[in-house]
Amino acid sequence: MGYFLVDIYPYVLSFHIMAVISWMAGLFYLPRLFVYHAERAENGDQLDETLKIMEYKLQRYIMAPASIAAWIAGLTLVFTPGVVDWSAVWPYTKAIAVICMTSFDHFLLQMRKKFDRNENTLTGRQYRMLNEVPTVLMVIIVVSVVVKF
């Protein structure tokens, strides 16, 4: 099994990178949609309904499949012999940041559901601040993998 994973490594890595890019695009865009939703839409108006559809489709058809694909490809890379040096710190910092990223994704899902029920309590400013979370986590992940400290 190990040799097979080594043979397909470049393809799995490519797939992982594409899935992560798609997932990250959604993680950057969804909180921005929430900013507009919180600041400009009134419950039941046309903008409110349009944003609800946009948020749902972004999460359901782009973010969810991309996150699942990123996790599957990432775990495949973890089990590929020679890819991860478990005596280093970087695999653990990356793992913690990826778990935090996934938790943030699930948090956004809950926020979208609150908008659907007209129960949002956060302000546009709070969503702007939340929009920085994926950036910080991305920096930790990329530096961990590239620098390999």
The predicted-structure confidence for 55-81, as pLDDT tens digits, reads as follows 999 999 999 999 999 999 999 999 999
What value does the mean pLDDT of the chain take? Answer: 96
- Please check whether residue 28 is in contact with residue 106, taking contact to mean a CB–CB distance below 8 angstroms: no
Take residue 148 and report the two structure tokens written for it.
């390999």
Q: Model-level pTM?
A: 0.92
Give the per-residue pLDDT at 146: 95
Dihedral (Cα; 70, 104, 34, 61), 10-degree rounding: 30
User: What domain range is 8 assigned to?
Assistant: 2-147
Residues contacting residue 20 through CB under 8 Å, at least 6 positions apart: 66, 70
CA neighbor of 35 nearest in space, from 131, 113, 119 = 131
- Please check whether residue 80 is in contact with residue 40, taking contact to mean a CB–CB distance below 8 angstroms: no
Overall average pLDDT of the 101-130 stretch: 97
The count of structural domains within the chain is 1
* Residue 128 clears pLDDT 70, i.e. is over it: yes
Q: Return the percentage of the chain with pLDDT > 70, whole number.
A: 99
